Amino acid sequence: MNLKFRAKDYKSDDSFESAEYEYFGNEKEGWEIKRNGDPYLHLGPGYIPLKTISCGVCSTDIDRRFLPFPLPQIIGHEVLAEGLGEHQGKQYVVEINDTYEARGDKSPDVFCKEGIPTHSPERRVLGIDRLPGGFGPYILAPVHAAISLEGVSPKAAVLMEPFAAALQAILASPPKPGDHVAVLGPRRLGSLILAALASYRKTNLSDFRITAITRHDHLVTLSKAMGADEVIDLRNTDIESLKNQFDIVYDTTSTASGFESALQIAKREVHLKTTNGQVMAGIAHLTELVVDELSILPYSDSNVLFHWEKENRKNRNIFVFGSVSETIKEKLKTQFTVFEGSSKEAESILNSEMFSNQLPRFDLVVVSSPEELSLAIRPNPGHENSLVRPRGAILVDTSKTKDWPADASLVGKFFANQKEIHSSRCGDFHMAISLLRDNPEITHALETNLISHRFSSDQLELAYATAKDPSSVKVVVDFK
């Protein structure tokens, strides 16, 4: 098959330019992609061509220039599409991660074998990292990432990717019975987290309370429609009066000030769902923290056993920075294989024969300073590998947090008070579809309330500019 078309590439200066693309190949033999006549990307077998029906504009799209992936690129990853060729007539939603598993490759890497295929360093990401996205008229989707749309209306389907991501936050940080949780910034993703919380609560017959926190009239109304039990308007309420009021705060603001507010008002946990690629509260690489779905926890006997709830594994290998207290080091050595040193020494260990036949990451990393915390997430500007395994944890030696510099003192006190930061990224589309089928009132709320603007594909720049405006909620670009 040969597909030739023009699309608008997103550039590092936050503008768009028109480019000519050509896809030629097939699912069995692979694909060649050309951009303006030059080779752009080679894809092996396992991709099917799809025609874009519509694509939502996400906060990630708006902040795309801050992410550590090459530009220019056709961006857009919240895709509803239809099949071509033998798949013609079918509609699909598309999971964004291009992995061995998604392509049906018979030789998976160690990340797939460990049950974390979406964290493979070799993966591409639709509309984010190399793989052309949904703001073009055609995409190439890994065959198992294209999920047939059955039982959910097309209006709700274009929201499937962000709804699944929102649901992942709830699964990674589930409210306990009697909890009072808050969603900070209930706009695009925040509104979907409200809907995910409400549907999760109903399906699981749970009894936690949901509060939305905003400062915009239209978001007060939207939050109630999406499932919030109450809404706090920060134009009338001082954030200081909310300190330690909420067991879990799901921060979707994507701002440094929002993150700092979340740290102040959380009683037990902040779930960081989206960031803007910038340093926040004195900590670098928080965007990469979310990409890797890492947690930051105060060091404790129980937290050294941390793993995601659905993972059936035990922590074995732990790296400890040299400045961590000797008490912690000696205690860890009684239970685990412990490595010690600097971030460069940690990388050398991970690149050694010792880790050649296993996941080349430590299960946990223990730090004592903001600098070490940032290095644990991204130790080397030359690559995107963390020291700690995806969905693993970085533990903070809280005996040292009193000495953290002023710009990181807020987060230092947060850990000293035994509070936690968790994060999550993409979600399970099958689970999201099932939840929406079980909760038709939530589906109706999504269809009725969340999409605030629709534009045709030739109005992409206007759609993108509108999505930046706080008065918009979800902006969708339509291709037919």
pLDDT by residue, tens only, the chain of 480 residues? 999 999 999 999 999 999 999 999 999 999 999 999 999 999 999 999 999 999 999 988 998 998 889 999 999 999 999 999 888 889 999 999 999 999 999 888 899 889 899 999 889 999 999 999 999 999 999 999 999 887 778 888 899 999 999 999 999 999 999 999 999 998 888 999 999 999 999 989 999 999 999 988 888 989 999 999 999 999 999 999 999 999 999 999 989 999 999 999 999 999 999 887 789 999 999 999 999 999 999 999 999 999 998 888 899 999 999 999 999 999 999 999 999 999 999 999 999 999 998 999 999 999 999 999 999 999 999 888 999 999 999 999 999 999 999 999 999 999 999 999 999 998 989 889 888 888 888 888 888 888 999 999 999 999 999 999 988 889 999 997
Architecture of 2-149 per CATH? Answer: Alpha-Beta Complex (3.90)
Residues carrying CATH 3.90.180.10, the chain: 2-149
Distance CA 182, CA 426 (A): 21
How many Cα atoms occupy the beta-carbon half-sphere of 116 within 13 Å? 25
Residues carrying CATH 3.40.50.720, the chain: 164-423
Query: How does DSSP classify residue 305?
Result: G
Q: How far apart are the first and last CA of the chain?
A: 22
Cross-strand pairs, 54: 80, 478
Q: Which H, E and C letters describe 96-145, residue by residue?
A: CEECHHHHCCCCCCHHHHCCCHHHCCCCEECCCECCCCCCCCEEEEECCC
CATH class, range 164-423: alpha beta
Contact 174, 201 (CB under 8 A): no
Cα dihedral 195, 197, 199, 205 in deg (nearest 10): -160
Q: Is 93 helix (H, G, I), strand (E, B) or coil?
A: strand
Q: Which of 264, 204, 198 is nearest to 228 (CA)?
A: 198
User: Residue written as tokens 């533990």?
Assistant: 395
What's the predicted TM-score (pTM) here? 0.90
Cross-strand pairs, 320: 340, 366
